Amino acid sequence: MEAFPEVSKIKYEGPQSDNPLAFRWYNPDEIVEGKTMRDHLRFSVVYWHTFRGNGSDPFGAATMVRPWDDGTESLENAKNRVRVAFEFMEKLDVPFYAFHDRDVAPEGASLSESNSNLDAIADTLEEEQERTGIKLLWGTQNMFSHPRYMHGAATSCDAQVFAYAAAQTKKAIDISKRLNASGHVFWGGREGYYNLYNTDMKREVDHLGLLLNMAVEYADEIGFDGMFFIEPKPKEPTKHQYDSDAAACINFLRAYGLMDRFQLNIETNHATLSGHTMMHELEYAGMQGMLGSIDANTGDLLLGWDTDQFPTDIYLTTRCMLAILKYGGFTNGGVNFDAKVRRESFEPMDLFYAHIGGMDAFARGLITAAAIRADGGLEAMKTERYSSWDSGLGAEIETGSHGLKSLAEAAEGMGDIQLSSGRQEFLENYINRFI
């Protein structure tokens, strides 16, 4: 039985098409900068929002109509959901998906029951991956929903909870390996705090470093060679999440000796919650060789929480793709739609409209970014702007042949320094020519 009998495989029909079930920009086989759009964008659907999101919020009950889901936590229902998910992803023509352990398989009454539930569902996931060719972008462990994690997981005040989190992480890495995942994500669920009166921050952050080092050690032992990602987020659910932004994450990874095995998975809504733009976060990670993957969504300027909306803003996707292309594109990562339809968009068809819109927005961002890069105007402006560093005094400073004394001498004879305009408005207008 098909869950979406009214939908056939979504195809590219070009910008003139008025078919809401067609791509207007995403043309998977089209070559951009020497690679297909499919390989550039590596689109991924998330299991949690798309197949487990029920539309409930703190003010109201579930709204989503999902006729294939009987609403129980049975294995049968979980397996059926996997079939539906793969039908959806096949029709949407996405190459990847992502999940948490507890999204795909029900939590059991004991750890071993949870693990065997996960094994049973992994059988079905494996079958469907083989049938469709759709791959796992990344797996992860949900160490924030169960009440045992109320104080955090790796950063819990309770050592037994740390041990439980270690067990859950071990199993999740086993499943990622089994399903041949390209990566494995650590988003710091409840790794943070509400109040420092009761929190030993140093001890908690040390424990997080310990758990991640254990994960690396275990992955090496079993031969899981996917990339590990951490996903910065400044707040929610805790007031202060330890992995607050790209800079904090990179400092953490460096301090705990994890730089070689980890990269960042950067999410737009998290970037803006931390008071940065997505482009800032991508650039900060990229310049240190740590840009791995993105969780593609968007927040709302008027709402101060993680609304996880689908990205449709062409400026946003263009900026994302400018940064991603600049740093050489994705290797293990991709454009992962960590986004959910609004609770008022409760019909199954809304899942298609939402994803098609996000894919088209990113395809258009890719095309626009490539055109800007081909034109070269931004790069030329930057080259010119920093040209005083390319020869003479600037080059000498950069190569380390000066100290404060010799520069003080050089400054003596300089007279008035002539500066040039930063041309921000000129460049904003320039970008608009491509949009």
**Which residues are known to be catalytic?**
100, 103
* Of 233 and 319, CB closest to ligand XLS: 233
* Of 137 and 253, CB closest to ligand XLS: 137
Residue 263, classed as helix, strand or coil, is: strand
Residues 23, 6: Cα–Cα separation, whole Å: 17
On the 0-12 / 13-18 / 19+ scale of CB atoms within 10 A, 324 is buried
Residue 367, classed as helix, strand or coil, is: helix
* Amino acid at position 32, single letter: V
Binding pattern for the stretch 258-297 against Ni ion, x by CB under 5 A and - elsewhere = ---------x---------------------------x--
For residues 38, 288, 279, 43, the Cα torsion angle rounded to the nearest 10 degrees is 20
- The footprint of Ni ion on residues 302-331 (CB under 5 A) is 306
Inter-helix orientation angle 159-178/111-132, to 10° = 20
* Of 128 and 231, CB closest to ligand XLS: 231
* Of 124 and 336, CB closest to ligand XLS: 336
Residue 140 touches which of Ni ion, ligand XLS, none (Cβ within 5-8 Å per kind)? ligand XLS
Q: How far is the CB of 211 from Ni ion (least distance, A)?
A: 19
Binding pattern for the stretch 380-419 against Ni ion, x by CB under 5 A and - elsewhere = ----------------------------------------
* Contact flag: residue 243 with Ni ion (CB under 5 A): no
Q: How far is the CB of 273 from Ni ion (least distance, A)?
A: 9
Residue 94 touches which of Ni ion, ligand XLS, none (Cβ within 5-8 Å per kind)? none
Residues 289, 404: Cα–Cα separation, whole Å: 31
Of 335, 392, 331, which is closest to residue 361 (Cα–Cα)? 335
DSSP assignments along 43-112, one per residue = EEEEHIIIII----BTTB------TT--SS--HHHHHHHHHHHHHHHHHHT-SEEEEEHHHHS---SSHH
On the 0-12 / 13-18 / 19+ scale of CB atoms within 10 A, 247 is middle
| Contacts of residue 331, Cβ cutoff 8 Å, sequence gap at least 6 | 227, 292
* Of 191 and 231, CB closest to ligand XLS: 231
11-19, 58-66, 311-319, 332-340 -> range binding Ni ion (CB under 5 A): 332-340
* Of 95 and 299, CB closest to Ni ion: 299
CB contact at 8 A, 233 and 244: yes
Q: How far is the CB of 270 from Ni ion (least distance, A)?
A: 6
* Contact flag: residue 283 with ligand XLS (CB under 6 A): no
Binding pattern for the stretch 302-331 against ligand XLS, x by CB under 6 A and - elsewhere = ----x-------------------------
* Contact flag: residue 267 with ligand XLS (CB under 6 A): yes
Residues 8, 191: Cα–Cα separation, whole Å: 42
Residues that bind ligand XLS (CB under 6 A): 100, 140, 185, 187, 231, 233, 267, 295, 306, 338
The residues that touch Ni ion, with contacts defined as CB under 5 A, are 267, 295, 306, 338
